[in-house]
């Protein structure tokens, strides 16, 4: 069974519990989510100038488009306003800002008709974020920047909640990946040769669930959910924001989604910043999460 809740009137704790059990939650646009979207639109407008960013792919050389994104995306990721507006969004959702940590927000694009599906605009095959060293309590927040349609969103493959998929995560070490592969994303235009954890058996992509929130709407799901980028046939480039959160009490207590099939090593937990002051997670907590005992003294 796949359960999707719309605008549920529940506490943050109940929300986390539902997400760890594989439910998906969707919220309408709110002043706080629209403030984040506005900020993203401003940066996009600066980058694209007089072009409509959603259709610019049709009259730009793909190399130029990739170069534009390679400058725009890090700007959004590292902009201080991005962090501030996410913190405000989390507060508006009733998250305890002292116990909630987020990683820097990404701006994602999905171009239409395979224009650019590698590197800086990677079209994600079916995966769980937990194959990429995400903590099992990680929650994903996904927000369209402009209106989206079923032909350019993302898909869930809910029959794999509770069912393992043979996958390449055993070859994935987060620290190794950061050292070697990440910085080079923009150089991949036609194909992406980086060894990412992929399914190693045929995945039934149908039935699938596509949620289509309004622009500024917020979709929340567990990072353990099997999901993929939909092949974009809409004629428009999709722009979305996503970021991830963990609740530190859940990290410590291992209140989290169950592990079905992830075998990667390393953890992305040190990437998360406390929503109240952007401090990193305590190293003792990170080490314990990693399965190592902190050393005395």
Question: According to CB under 5 A, which residues from 91 to 110 bind Fe ion?
Answer: none
Q: Looking at 68-76, 125-133, 143-151, 209-217, which segment touches Fe ion (CB under 5 A)? A: 125-133
Burial annotation 172-199 (CB, 10 A radius, 16+ → b, else e)? bebeebeeeeeeebbebbeebeeebbeb
Of 229, 191, 237, 190, the C-alpha closest to 63 is 190
Residue with Cβ nearer Fe ion (129 or 271): 129
Interface residues for Fe ion in 144-203 (CB under 5 A)? none
Segment contacting Fe ion by CB under 5 A, of 126-134, 196-204, 257-265, 275-283: 126-134
- Which residue, 129 or 261, has its beta carbon nearer to Fe ion? 129
Stretch that binds Fe ion, among 11-19, 47-55, 129-137, 213-221 (CB under 5 A): 129-137
> What are phi and psi for residue 125, nearest 5 degrees?
-65, 170
Task: Give the pairing of strands 106-110 and 154-156.
Answer: unpaired
Q: Which is closer to Fe ion, CB of 197 or CB of 217?
A: 197
Cβ closest to Fe ion, residue 93 vs residue 142:
142
The residues, ordered by sequence, that sit 6+ positions from 282 with a Cβ below 8 Å of its Cβ are: none
Alpha helix ranges (H) inside 95-185: 174-180
Main-chain phi, psi angles of 37, to 5 degrees: -65, -40
Q: Of 3, 227, 244, which Cα lies nearest the Cα of 131?
A: 227
d(CA 196, CA 171): 9
- Of the pair 56, 158, the CB lying nearest Fe ion is at 158
The region of 124-132, 153-161, 173-181, 185-193 touching Fe ion under the rule CB under 5 A is 124-132
- Taking CB under 5 A as the criterion, the residue among 24, 37, 87, 129 binding Fe ion is 129
Q: How far is the CB of 198 from Fe ion (least distance, A)?
A: 12
Comparing CA positions, the residue from 69, 43, 39 lying closest to residue 56 is: 69
- Specify whether the CB–CB gap between 253 and 176 falls below 8 A: no
Token output for 32: 């706080």
Q: What is the token pair recorded at 115?
A: 């224009």
Q: Which of 145, 146, 148, 139 is nearest to 250 (CA)?
A: 139
Minimum CB–partner distance for residue 229 and Fe ion (Å): 9
Q: How far is the CB of 134 from Fe ion (least distance, A)?
A: 8
> Which residue, 217 or 223, is less far from Fe ion as judged by CB?
223
Please tell me whether residue 250 binds Fe ion under the rule CB under 5 A.
no
Enumerate the β-bridge partners of residue 167: 199
Minimum CB–partner distance for residue 77 and Fe ion (Å): 16
Minimum Å distance from CB 84 to Fe ion? 24
Q: How far is the CB of 228 from Fe ion (least distance, A)?
A: 8
Indicate the residue among 32 and 257 with the shorter CB distance to Fe ion. 257
Output the smallest distance, CB 277 to Fe ion, in A.
27
Residue with smallest beta-carbon separation from Fe ion: 129
Site mask for Fe ion (CB under 5 A), range 200-229, x = bound: ------------------------------
Query: Residues interacting with Fe ion, by CB under 5 A?
Result: 129
């Amino acid at each position: 069974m796949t359960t999707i809740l719309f605008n549920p009137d529940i506490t943050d704790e109940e929300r986390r519990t539902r997400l760890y059990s594989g439910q998906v939650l969707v919220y309408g646009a709110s002043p706080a989510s629209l403030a984040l979207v506005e900020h993203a639109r401003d940066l996009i407008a600066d980058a694209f100038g007089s072009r409509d960013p959603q259709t610019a792919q049709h009259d730009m050389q793909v190399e130029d488009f990739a170069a534009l994104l390679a400058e725009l995306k890090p700007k959004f990721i590292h902009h201080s306003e991005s962090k501030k507006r996410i913190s405000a969004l989390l507060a508006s959702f009733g998250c305890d800002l002292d116990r909630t940590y987020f990683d820097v927000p990404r701006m994602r694009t999905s171009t239409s008709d395979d224009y650019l599906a590698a590197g800086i605009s990677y079209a994600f095959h079916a995966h769980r974020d937990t194959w990429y060293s995400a903590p099992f309590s990680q929650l994903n927040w996904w927000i369209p920047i402009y209106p989206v349609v079923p032909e350019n969103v993302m898909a869930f493959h809910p029959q794999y909640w509770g069912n393992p998929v043979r996958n390449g995560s055993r070859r994935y070490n987060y620290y190794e990946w950061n050292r070697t592969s990440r910085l080079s994303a923009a150089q991949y235009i036609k194909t992406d040769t980086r060894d990412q954890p992929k399914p190693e058996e045929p995945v039934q992509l149908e039935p699938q669930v596509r949620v289509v929130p309004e622009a500024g709407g917020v979709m929340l799901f567990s990072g353990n959910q099997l999901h993929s980028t939909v092949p974009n046939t809409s004629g428009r480039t999709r722009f979305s924001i996503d970021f991830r959160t963990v609740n530190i009490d859940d990290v410590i207590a291992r209140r989290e989604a169950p592990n079905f099939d992830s075998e990667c090593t390393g953890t992305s937990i040190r990437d998360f910043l406390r929503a109240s002051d952007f401090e990193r997670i305590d190293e003792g907590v990170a080490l314990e999460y990693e399965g190592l005992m902190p050393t005395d003294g």
